[in-house]
Amino acid sequence: MSGLRVLKPGPQSLLQDGGRLGWQHLGVSPAGPLDGHAAAWANHLLGNPWGTPLLEVALGDVELQAEVDTWVAVCGAQMPLSVDDQPQSLWTRLPLHKGQSLRMGFARSGQRAYLAVAGGFIAVPVLGSVSVQLREGMGQALQAPDLLACRAASFSRSASVPWPYVADYSCTPLLRVITGADAASFEEDQLQGFFAQTWQLSPHSDRMGARLVGEALQPPVRQWSLGVGRGAIQVPPDGQPIILQADHQTMGGYPLLGWLHPLDQGRLAQCPAHHSLRFTPISIGDAQAELREFYRFFGR
């Protein structure tokens, strides 16, 4: 089968789809794209269903050569994009012909971009998903000269994401938090302190968890572990919160302050190390309404 040949893989480029769902009870995290907004738009531009396999490119520096005539879309971090050294637009559907080279330079704003191809990349699923999860040894990062298999496809014209939906990763985000879980067990001044201060994103953050650095909180004591999901905000004994990401563990014993709004998880994933972060509370009802609208638009 033909596809896109890897000439330069970049620091970390991983195949992702809708996630490895239904296995957390056995200790297997779901994985999936860190920025669901950018990934969803990349697939949508090409008419691909929700969760169609695409490539998550961290930081950039990727070069691929087409061995098939197809169409692609790249959404997410601001990376220089070119085809045969001709600059191309992000957040846009564009043709890629056999023999042409697609290059993605280093990110100028944001951390991850998503390369989708018409019909999606073809790979052998593991536990029902092609999502690469390096910590658990499910799949591996892209290497040269891997082949990203795909089928030929064509469109009659290009298309772009409407500008109001193109993310701006240059500003300091105000991320929304649904308080709950152990929030009532925190002292009121500690809970308010979480929202009042500006946090920094630790360079030790990864696809498993985003670690915050700031004035330490005093978490309550907990004597048991429980199941955790993406977006859960854990507060360990050192008082520096951890926001669980796509490759999160499935059980945790640290107190939970609440959960990051699902639609803000992608914005967090696009922040570089030492970036400033602020948080504000949101009701679970408002978060659910926004999430339903998002899923309805993208056909999930």
26 shares a domain with 154: yes
| Res 154: pLDDT | 87
| Res 171: pLDDT | 80
Residue 35 reports pLDDT greater than 90? yes
User: In which domain, by residue range, is 29 found?
Assistant: 3-165
User: What distances in angstroms separate CA 150 from CA 54, 71, 279, one per listed residue?
Assistant: 10, 10, 41
* The domain boundary residue, chosen from 105, 131, 165: 165
Better-scored residue on pLDDT, 226 or 278: 278
188 shares a domain with 159: no
| Res 199: pLDDT | 97
Which 8-state DSSP code applies to residue 66? E
* The domain boundary residue, chosen from 122, 137, 165: 165
What is the CATH number for 184? 2.40.100.10
279 shares a domain with 220: yes
235-260 mean pLDDT: 94
Residue 274 reports pLDDT greater than 90? yes
157 shares a domain with 101: yes
140 shares a domain with 11: yes
Please list, in sequence order, all residues whose beta carbon lies within 8 angstroms of the beta carbon of residue 156, skipping any fewer than 6 positions away: none
- Give the phi and the psi of residue 290 in degrees, each rounded to 5: -65, -40
Amino acid letter for position 46: L
178 shares a domain with 160: no
144 shares a domain with 18: yes
d(CA 185, CA 262): 23
Q: Which helix (H) or strand (E) holds 58?
A: strand 54-58
Residue 222 reports pLDDT greater than 80? no
Average pLDDT of the chain, as a whole number: 95
9 shares a domain with 105: yes
263 shares a domain with 149: no
153 shares a domain with 191: no
Per the structure, the count of domains in the chain is: 2
* The domain boundary residue, chosen from 112, 147, 165: 165
Residue 86 reports pLDDT greater than 90? yes
126 shares a domain with 59: yes
Residue 279 reports pLDDT greater than 90? yes
User: What distances in angstroms separate CA 191 from CA 213, 217, 241, one per listed residue?
Assistant: 16, 8, 12
190 shares a domain with 118: no
| Chain segment 159-217, per-residue pLDDT in tens | 999 999 999 998 878 999 999 888 889 999 999 999 999 999 999 999 999 999 999 99
What is the sign of the dihedral through the CA atoms of 210, 216, 219 and 225? positive
Q: pTM score, two decimals?
A: 0.95
